[in-house]
Each structure stands twice: as C-alpha cells, then as structure tokens.
Amino acid sequence: MPASSHRPDTSVTVLGLGAMGTALADALLSAGHPVTVWNRSPARADDLVARGAVRADSAARAVAASALVIVCVTDYDIANTILTAASTTGDADRWAGRTLVNLTSDTPERAREAAAWAAKRDIAYLDGAVMVPTSLVGTTNGLVLYSGSRAAFEAHEATLRAFGPNTPFLGEDHGLAAVYDLGMLDFFYTAMAGLTHAFGLVGADGVSAREFLPFADIIFGILPNITTGMAAAIDAGTHPGDQGNLTMEAAGIDHILTAAKTRGLDVGVLEAVRHLTTRTIARGHGTNGFTATIETIRNP
C-alpha cells in the first residue's frame, strides 16, 4: 500500500479533546478509522461520538482499545499524569504491541524525558508537533512533524497522513520535533510582533493596515532569497557585510525608534533588536552583515 493512502483498518485512540485533540480525532474519523476517545470531561466527546467515535470511560480502557494511541493535551505535566494513570491500572501488558504518539507541545527536554519513560515500558514512541491551526488539520495543508522511533513512524505513517500529507520524519532523537516546533514558532511570533508594530507605526500617521499591507507583502516576497543567504552564512560561520553592514542597519533601526517614540508607541520589540545589534557591533562585527548577531545570540 502506498505511503500516501490511509489505513482505515487501523484503530486509533485519542487522549485529550481540547480544540486540537478534537480536530485530530475528527480527521481520523473522516479518513475512516475506528476511533476511541477519552477526555477528563466526558461531555467533550459528545460530538465525536455522534460521528461514530467510541467513548472510553477511562484512559486505561482507551489505551487498551487501539494499536495506535495519540495524546494531545495542554502540556507534558497533564500528559504524564494521564499516561501514568493509564499504565498503572489493571492489566500490566496494556501497552504491548502499541505505539504512543505524543502531540503535546513542550520543550525538547520534556520530549526526551517522555521517550525515556516510554522506553522503560517497552512502548514504541513518537514525539510530534502540529504546525497548523485546527482548521487545517486533515486538509492538504496539514503539517505535523515527527521524531523518535523510525520503525513506529514507518509502521503508522499512512494512518498519520489523516492529519495532512505533510508528515516529515526529522530523525530518531525524540526531541527534534520540539526543536523544529520552537524554531518555527520563534520566527513566527517575533515576525508577527514586527508586523504588528509596523502597522502601529504607519497607523500613527493615518495609514491603515489594509493600505499598508501591499507594501508589507513586498517584504514577504523577498524573504525567501534573504533567508536562504542567511542560513548559508550562519552554517558557514561567515557574515559578509558587502550588501549591508550591521553599523548601517543599526542606524536604520535608530530612525525607526526615534519615529516610534515620537508617536508614543511601545518600542520594546525595537529596543530588543537595537540592543542585540549594539552588543554585536561592540564585539567587532560592525562591518559584518546582520547574521553576525548569531554570535551574540549564542554567547550572550
């Protein structure tokens, strides 16, 4: 069977029915899988049960119901509590032959701790990160990252594609999915903060966000080439400043700061960037490009 096809014969359990857990269970049902669900508040399962899911009355029985168990809750403390309870009640062999996929977001360290917990119990374990909002889970734009047991990933890849066709396996270090997750969100949130601040800056002079957006889109359009060059420079450890050096760029940041302060705007985001460039220039990187700031980031 090709990797892109679903395995509707594979039973799946979903532990945790918040917004994301519900979206995951819904995608599995849409793909034709037998789905068992459990949530600490049982009523959260009502709509899924109406669609054909089976509601388990305990996490332990939910685990026992399926070969593939997915947990997706607020944090690892909650996940650990649920999984520990499911592993200490009743049949000690409940996890035999099963695979656990943890799609709870947290740090790489917590992912590796969870992997060690699973290894002690001979549980095949994958850690993962859902990189799209709930509305895109189960669509062609769905993206979920995985790391950990390669054998477990290959055995269940077809089923996991119910969440979307983009299912990159990043490696056997269980923490890698969290590493990529945090890196992508680091970029996302700082970029959103910058864009929001830009809207605030132009808005102070009467330019609406809608009017400014086409010009912001020009910046988005040139980012792919810029980021490709940045990645190459950082990996090579060289930071050429021939297209724009850090001293020049710091002066540009100062102009934005002056304008923002004059307009009474919060400048915390800009001051953080300026502080980063100031320290990097002080280390002798004034003639280098912006990627030289990685030296300060790595060695604050």
**4: pLDDT strictly greater than 80:** no
Q: How far apart are the first and last CA of the chain?
A: 51
The Cβ of residue 297 has, within 10 Å, a number of other Cβ atoms equal to 10
For residue 159, what pLDDT is reported?
96
**Residue-wise pLDDT tens digits, 169-193:** 999 999 999 999 999 999 999 999 9
**Residue-wise pLDDT tens digits, 96-109:** 889 999 999 999 99
Alpha-carbon span 37 to 48, nearest angstrom: 8
CATH class of the domain at 204-298? mainly alpha
What average pLDDT does the segment 38-64 reach? 95
Alpha-carbon span 119 to 113, nearest angstrom: 10
Q: Which has the closest alpha carbon to 187: 223, 214, 212?
A: 223
The phi and psi torsions of 3 (rounded to 5 degrees) equal -65, -20
Average pLDDT of the residues of the chain = 93
Q: Quick one: tokens of 97? A: 């032959």
- The pTM score is 0.90
The Cβ of residue 289 has, within 10 Å, a number of other Cβ atoms equal to 20
For residue 87, what pLDDT is reported?
78
Query: 146, 168 in Cβ contact below 8 A?
Result: yes
Give the side-chain half-sphere CA count within 13 A for 190. 10
For residue 23, what pLDDT is reported?
98
Instruction: For tokens 């979920």, name the residue.
Output: 144
92 — pLDDT class (breaks 50, 70, 90):
low
Alpha-carbon span 251 to 258, nearest angstrom: 11
> What number of H helices and E strands is found in the chain?
11, 7
Q: Which residues of 181-196 are buried (b: 16+ CB within 10 A; e: fewer)?
A: beeeeeeeeeeeeebe
**61: pLDDT strictly greater than 50:** yes
Q: Quick one: tokens of 172? A: 């056997």
Alpha-carbon span 83 to 101, nearest angstrom: 11
Q: Cα dihedral angle (7, 49, 103, 31), rounded to 10 degrees?
A: 30
Alpha-carbon span 190 to 268, nearest angstrom: 12
Which CATH homologous superfamily contains domain 12-172? NAD(P)-binding Rossmann-like Domain (3.40.50.720)
For 160, the enclosing helix (H) or strand (E) is helix 150-160
Q: Which has the closest alpha carbon to 65: 37, 42, 32, 31?
A: 37
Q: What ranges in 161-245 are assigned the alpha helix state H? A: 176-203, 209-236
90 — pLDDT class (breaks 50, 70, 90):
low
Query: 156, 68 in Cβ contact below 8 A?
Result: yes
For residue 182, what pLDDT is reported?
97
* Strands across the sheet containing 99-102: 54-55, 35-38, 12-15, 68-71, 99-102, 124-130, 144-148
What are the boundaries of each domain within the chain? 12-172, 204-298
For residue 244, what pLDDT is reported?
86
Alpha-carbon span 133 to 201, nearest angstrom: 28
What average pLDDT does the segment 218-242 reach? 94
For residue 1, what pLDDT is reported?
33
**231: pLDDT strictly greater than 80:** yes
